[in-house]
Structure 1
Amino acid sequence: MAWFEQEVDHFGWEPVNGSTTWEHRYFLCEPKDTKKPANGAPRPIFFYCGNEANVELYVNNTGLMWENAGDMGALMVFAEHRYYGESWPFGTEEASSKREHLRFLTHEQALADYAHLISYLKDRLSLKDSPVVAFGGSYGGMLAAWFRQKYPHIVAGAIAASAPLLAFGAWDDEAYWAAVTRDFTPAGGCSASCVGTIRSAWTPLFSRGSTPAGRAELSRVFGLCSPLNTATDVDHLAQMIAMALDTLAMGNFPYPSTYLSDPGAPLPAWPVREVCSRMDAASATDELSLLAALRDGSAVLLNASKTLQCLEIPKDQSYAGIWDYQWCTQALPQESYFGRTGDKDMFYPFRKSKGDVDKHCLHKYGVVPSRSWIEESYGGVDGLLQSSNIVLSNGGMDPWSSGGVNATLSETVVSLWVPEGAHHLDLFFSREEDPPSVREVRKAEVEAIRQWVGQATGG
């Protein structure tokens, strides 16, 4: 782990609170068996574009980098995203989260951080001619692709996994929850009845939620720490369950994993199948049985440790933390705001109007979203067609594939598909349980990286 004196504002010159810099955290890593590049060629740099979490999550899980850096002689850099983990531009989370300081939380500032860090490392480590390959998953995948588009003189190529680059503008956000639902069908290895059973359970939940006696019953059935006192509380219960099922779809990996759960509480292999096995135990004609099954199914995530005595409904109904600010400014996608229909998906009708979102963002942050900014900045598919050396991978089990680039655009902007893949499965360490499709995708990604490095070094 190391720290770098980073600029607070890459696009301004005035000090903020008397300072222009802050301490930016990153990890510099090298496998023990690292080879020297052949013929004296400069060693490549594998650069992970940190996203909305502690960067150690990516250090410990990005096996695609670790398993190939040694053979290619690469140095690995994992950069933390400003305002996440321990990288707070104003010293602490509390100070950095003040409304007047959040204006420096943009993806453009983060990309400039990465460009500045790379320039510093190349100079300090005498790696001036080293080609840089960017890696990232989810928002990190978006950053990796945008890094290549915006800084092609710094980044030779990008592996952008599960990156919803098209989840803007006219994109139909209802497609997201339809994609979540697909995991719970036979296409995801589940029973034919699972989706219908989950869909049926919402009716007794909301009908009971309309009366004090019904809310008391729901509080008991779901084992809540605090009683449901209002219809709004019931909406929050439903949202908690929907978001749990969403997270389980993203984390629908073929082996036990803590990537999307607490470190001491791994999700089981194929966790969505476990949800459906619990839902299948319900009687379709018994409302309490349906509610109990919905409780038990969502508990695959909500009580993954099997130690909780009661469930606490989160106060943050955006389920986004400080990421909510990035939604409220640049409309970076957050599924808790996406629409649900109840027929295209297995949930219940839900829609926040633009007016509702604007009101929320104004109240919380004093801003309204710039909904066209990302498209105007990067051009969607048209912008990618003007770029090169980008691999865009997506998975059939990953809801975010609904906003991804799922067709190859050119010889050098390539889409790779993992039918059994949940959220950026291809970036993780190789496992015996991996489906053949992800093994093939990783081979294609490594081949692309070798080509980019060769092009950049004349090899």
Structure 2
Amino acid sequence: MLSSLTRCVLLLLLFINSAEAGRLLGKMKQRARDLLLQNAERPLEGVKEGRIHQQLDHFNHLDPRTFPQRFFVNEASWRRPDGPVFLFIGGEGPISELDVLAGHHADMARQLGALLLAVEHRFYGDSINPDGLETENLSDLSSQQALADLAVFHQHISSSFNLSRSSTWISFGGSYSGSLSAWFRGKFPQLVFGAVASSAPVRAQLDFSAYSKEVGLSLRNEAVGGSLKCLAAVRDAFSAVEAVMGVNAGRVAEDFGCCQSPKGPDDQIELMQNLADIIMGSVQYNEEGVLMSIAELCGVMTNQSEAHGDEMEAYRRLVQLAQIYHSSSEETCLDISHEKTVKDLMDTTLHHSGRRAARQWTYQTCTEFGFYQTCEASCPFSRTVTLRSQTQLCSTLFGISQHSLAGRVAFTNAYYGGAEPHTHRVLYVNGGVDPWKELSVVRAGGRGGEAQSVVFIEDAAHCADMARGRVTDRRSLKKARQEIEEHVVGWLKMAALERSV
């Protein structure tokens, strides 16, 4: 992820993918990662760490510059010399030994005698040069370059381990790295025989307003502990916060434990987005141990034991949710300074042991994906979170015009196929509670006869299938993991049959 505390995105890194609009959701993901590192057993026998020097620009052979790309190898279960190769692709954050030790893909590797690999995404974790965060150097950060890295890495491992043609490669990833898993299979089908893409947003979208809408649908979903009353309470709470903010911003800051009072509209938007993140994170990682489940959140927002009739009731309950967040984090207050956000994102120094990711991921959202979780239309949160407020960072941080973003997103979809990705023999896995399913593939099929398979888990959250199973898992999740295993085993048999012909 494994400990029950870490069943989350478990193998996803820092900023998941998922382009997170506010800072709290990113911090919640990091906390899940930290719990994973602290609680999981770490039998490191057979695990090795390595580096490969990759070209910074694979599409310009006259450019000699390189960067060190980190990877891990687990040979413990490998059935030499022709056992399968399972490649776990890193996303927008660091990898660790756990990426070749824990999770459903690691369990399958042990069962099937696979060589297990994890490779870190360029410019994240330790796979970055000291000057990598400078704006002029970020031009080498892209999913296209990352896929080329994977192709070179494939060659490196094949040579280093003297792999034969009988070694079948399968790739795995979740969220953004799930998209990379699918795209790697699509762009380099001769290198990877099949791919599992969990919660993979393969369709780039500038204005991802559907995210908030899907969060609202989950808040009313009785199958996972939601209700119409819960959704109404969340809507009322944000309306009340906006109303109080208009007359007494200092009171709002005090009630929600902010580090400072909002100085202007930008700070107010930061506050609203951070409050929304508490709800969004609870939905996106429902029952995965990050903060609270939908049922627990709705329990707070609709607590029958408290008095009713007070128009500030929903407001006070949202305050209570914020207090729960504070009590589970190491933060003494909620930082809502937009000025500090910009300052942090403009910092180009490498520190925190390579764990920084916000600047890099913000750059990728500006240049490739969008994914901005706006709230201008049907939304249970504050409508002050607009596309303009989200995208102004592109010009502030990188000098990228807001007017150019739509064209950049359109190119990404043209390059990869968007809603109809140019992939074959890819298994797309999605959960019904996960808002990111809206940008993934949830129906089997494909154009040109290139069929793709899907596993849809009606009541599961983001990347829930990637964690190691436990007794208390929902039946639907257990069944989904079985289906994934059947596909992987089927691919290995198909590959063996093709080689024998």
Q: Judging changes above 3 Å, is the alpha-carbon distance between structure 1 residues 289 and 65 closer, same or farther for their aligned structure 2 residues? A: same
Match in the other structure for 2:397: 364
1:402 maps to what in 2?
438
Residue matched to 1:74 = 114
**How far did residue 155 of structure 1 move?**
0.9
The SS at the match of 1:310 is coil
The equivalent residue for 2:196 is: 159
1:139 is matched with which residue?
Answer: 176
Aligned with 2:123: secondary structure? coil
Q: Is the Cα–Cα contact under 8 Å of residues 35 and 71 in structure 1 kept in the other structure? A: no
Shift of 1:14: 3.4
Cα distance, 1:313 vs. partner? 2.6
Q: Could you say which residue in structure 2 is the equivalent of 1:263?
A: none
**How much has 1:390 moved relative to structure 2?**
0.5
**Counterpart residue number, 1:235:** 269
Equivalent-residue separation in structure 1 for 2:108 and 2:280 (angstroms): 31
Please state whether the residue corresponding to 2:79 is helix, strand or coil: coil
For structure 1, which segment, 155-164 or 197-206, has the greater mean C-alpha deviation from structure 2 after superposition? 197-206
Match for residue 57 of structure 2 among 9, 12, 18: 9
- Alpha-carbon shift at residue 102 of structure 1 (Å): 0.3
Deviations 1:45-77 (A, max 9, x none): 100111011112961785111111122110111
**Does 2:336 align with 1:313?**
yes
State the alpha-carbon separation in 1 of the partners of residues 259 and 100 from structure 2: 34
Whether 1:324 aligns to 2:362 is: yes
Match of 1:100 in 2: 136
Asked if 1:294 is matched to 2:318, the reply is yes
Stretch moving more, 373-382 or 102-111: 373-382
Quote the Cα distance in structure 2 between the aligned partners of 1:365 and 1:391.
36
SS in 2 for 1:240: helix
Match of 2:328 among 300, 304, 314: 304
Matched with 2:147 is 111
2:476 to 433, 437, 444: 437
Which residue identity is paired with 1:440?
K
Deviations 1:368-413 (A, max 9, x none): 43121122112234444xx321100110111111222111116841
CA contact under 8 A between 2:372 and 2:387: conserved in structure 1?
A: no
Cα shift readout 1:203-250 (whole Å, capped 9, x = no counterpart) = 221122123xx1121122112221233343222211111122112211
**Mapped contact 2:375–2:382 kept (Cα < 8 A):** no
Gaps spanning 5+ residues in structure 2: where? 1-48, 346-356
Distance 1:283 1:147, change over 3 A: farther
Contact 1:167–1:404 (CA<8 Å) still a contact in 2?
A: no
- Tell me: CA distance 1:323–1:447, structure 2 relative to 1, closer, same or farther (3 Å): same
> Structure 2 vs 1, CA of residues 334 and 245 (structure 1 numbering), >3 Å: closer, same or farther?
same
Letter paired with 1:65: H
Contact 2:86-2:171 within 8 A present in 1 as well: yes
Residue in structure 2 matched with residue 261 of structure 1 by the alignment:
none
2:90 aligned partner, one-letter code: G
Q: Is the 8 A contact 1:7 1:20 kept in 2?
A: yes
Counterpart residue number, 2:187: 150
Judge conservation of contact 2:204–2:369 (CA < 8 Å) in 1.
no
- Match for residue 25 of structure 1? 70
**1:83 paired residue among 123, 138, 155:** 123
Letter in 2 for 1:363: T
Question: In structure 2, what is the Cα distance between the partners aligned to 1:278 and 1:107?
Answer: 41
Deviates more, 1:364-373 or 1:277-286: 277-286
- Aligned match of 2:86 in 35, 46, 53? 46
Q: Deviations over 1:59-108 (max 9, x none)?
A: 178511111112211011111111111111x2x3xx21111100011001
Distance 2:495 2:111 in 1: 17
CA distance in 2, matches of 1:376, 1:83: 24
Paired residue type of 1:110: A
Q: CA deviation at 1:326?
A: 0.5
Say whether the 8 Å CA contact 1:14–1:20 is kept in structure 2. no
> Secondary structure in 2 aligned to 1:210?
helix
Q: 1:327-366, aligned counterparts within 5 Å?
A: 327-335=365-373, 338-341=374-377, 344-350=378-384, 352-353=386-387, 359-366=392-399
**Mapped partners of 1:50, 1:351: distance in 2:** 30
Structure 1 residue aligned with 2:428: 392
Q: Distance in 1 between matches of 2:436 and 2:232?
A: 23
8 Å Cα contact 1:5/1:23 also seen in 2: yes
Out of 196, 199, 209, the position equivalent to 2:245 is: 209
Using the alignment, how far apart are the partners of 1:74 and 1:165 within structure 2? 27
Alignment partner of 1:376 is 2:430: no
* Displacement over 6 Å in runs of 4+: none
Displacement after TM superposition at 1:288 (Å): 4.2
SS of alignment partner, residue 52 of structure 2: strand
TM-score by length of 2: 0.78
Question: Is the Cα–Cα contact under 8 Å of residues 64 and 427 in structure 1 kept in the other structure?
Answer: yes
**Is the Cα–Cα contact under 8 Å of residues 274 and 297 in structure 1 kept in the other structure?**
no
- 75-84 or 62-71, larger mean C-alpha shift: 62-71
Aligned: 1:36 with 2:84: no
Structure 1 equivalent of residue 18 of structure 2: none
Q: For residues 183 and 359 of structure 1, what CA distance do their matches in structure 2 show?
A: 30
1:311 is matched by which residue type in structure 2?
L
- Report if the CA contact (8 A) 1:244-1:302 is conserved: no
Q: TM-score, normalised by structure 1?
A: 0.85
Structure 2 CA distance for partners of 1:277 and 1:429, relative to 1, 3 Å: same
For residues 295 and 128 of structure 1, the distance between their equivalents in structure 2, rounded to whole angstroms, comes to: 60
Higher relative contact order (Cα pairs below 8 Å, separated by 6+ residues): 2
Q: CA deviation at 1:167?
A: 4.1
Could you say what secondary structure the match of 1:225 adopts? coil
Q: 1:61 & 1:193 partners in 2: Cα distance?
A: 42
**How many Å separate the matches in 2 of 1:5 and 1:457?**
32
